[in-house]
A = this chain, B = another copy of it.
Amino acid sequence: MATIGDVAREAGVSRSTASYALSGKRPISEEVRRRVLAAAEALAYTPNAGARALATAQTKVLGLLAQFHEDEFAPAMMQYILGVTNTARDLGYDTLLVNEADGVRALRRVTDSRMVDGVVLMNIAQDDARLPILRAAPQPGALVGLPGDCSGLDVFDLDFEEAGRVMVDHLHRLGHRELILISQPEHVVERGGAYVWRLRDAALERARQLGLTLHAVYGESRQPAVGRLLVHLLDTYPAATGLLINNEAAAAALPSVTYERGLRVPGDLSVIGRYSEEFAATFSLPYSFIESAPDRLGAMAVRQLVRRVESPVARNEPFVVRFISPELVSRGSTAPPGTRSP
């Protein structure tokens, strides 16, 4: 495989001249530049990534640290990953996908060894043990998800509080008085998944303000348990006319449940979900939903990361916490309340 030394010899110049001719960082005569470029072309020269990383202290690689939990919805995860890798690629970076149970060790390994220029962290927990490591790391870091302490890092997330309020407000305006909110399973919360109670608490608070009844329950993450739970909930709260879903598995399971019970949406039951457009398409869900935009979040995180990596000025800018505001995509699954046929 050709090195820059080979290119230089072929072009009849020194190694440094070849380097400058290729990078353009110093003026080089047109004649020499042509010879070097031709030689590089002829020898199919590609710079050695390790050598370049060593010399420039830049790897052109970003780390993506994700954790794949058994009880998490794989399709949803995929969206984040694509958002990150696509954006990184467009900006000239490759992505190192690190999926390790021991996130702390993995993060330390990746940053200390200088394999990456920056790190995107996913599956952020309220009190995430990886954050101190990332703050102390020489590379900048960006989070997709909101932790308890955002200091020293750029943070991107959906505004889950506002999402909860938007859901409640929407059904309240239509005249609903009793709602059910089904959230992610409780162990997601225990693991530190703050977005679950961020939406939940905000929804409960807003319901209280508006004088609505809101039954907030934690769901399951799998079929058939989540289907059974839905049935149980509809039985338990026969007067509820609105269903809010912050739980992908529950959303995916709902169509068969309503079908089986002969419930019409929105005639008998108004439904609002919280998931991504892509998710809705995959499961062909007919519900109005709040777009969680995983690809957009991943893209934002990467763009900010690359800004900090590439510009010494940007590197010292104050850190940002940016929420994307929930957008209710209408699919016609809400209407003024009817009476549910039991």
Cβ contact within 8 Å between B96 and A96: yes
A74–B259 touching, CB < 8 Å:
no
Instruction: For the complex, give the distance between the alpha carbons of A38 and B32 in Å.
Output: 52
- Whole-angstrom distance between the alpha carbons of A114 and B138 in the complex? 24
**Cβ-defined contact, A68 with B44, below 8 A:** no
In the complex the two chains form, is B138's CB within 8 Å of A1's CB?
A: yes
> What is the count of identical protomers in the complex?
2
Instruction: Take A51-B54, A284-B223 as given contacts and tell me if A99 and B85 are in contact as well, using a CB distance cutoff of 8 Å.
Output: yes
Q: A142-177: which residues lie under 8 A (CB-CB) from chain B?
A: none
Residues of B close to A115: CB separation below 8 A = 49, 61, 94
> Which of A206-214, A275-283, A318-326 interfaces with chain B?
A275-283
Knowing A77-B78, A99-B82, A227-B284, the reply to whether A59 touches B68 (Cβ < 8 A) is no
Contact partner of A48 (CB less than 8 A), chosen from B96, B100, B113, is B113
Interface string of A242-257 (1 = CB under 8 A from B): 0000000000110110
Chain B residues near A283 (CB-CB < 8 A): 223, 252, 283
Do residues A109 and B223 form an inter-chain contact, with CB atoms below 8 A?
A: no
Give chain B residues whose Cβ lies under 8 Å from the Cβ of A113: 46-49
Q: Which residues of A contact B (CB under 8 A)?
A: 1, 44, 46-54, 59, 61, 64, 68, 73-75, 77-79, 81-82, 85-86, 89, 94-100, 108-110, 112-115, 138, 222-224, 227, 252-253, 255-256, 259-260, 278, 281-284
Other than the known A49-B53, A73-B282, A222-B281, what 13 A-B pairs have Cβ atoms closer than 8 Å? A1-B114, A47-B113, A50-B114, A51-B54, A74-B75, A75-B282, A89-B98, A89-B99, A96-B96, A223-B281, A223-B283, A252-B282, A253-B284
23 A–B contacts, CB within 8 A, in A order = A1-B112, A44-B112, A46-B113, A48-B114, A49-B113, A50-B51, A50-B54, A51-B54, A54-B54, A64-B97, A68-B82, A74-B75, A74-B82, A75-B75, A85-B99, A89-B100, A95-B97, A95-B98, A96-B97, A223-B283, A223-B284, A227-B284, A283-B283
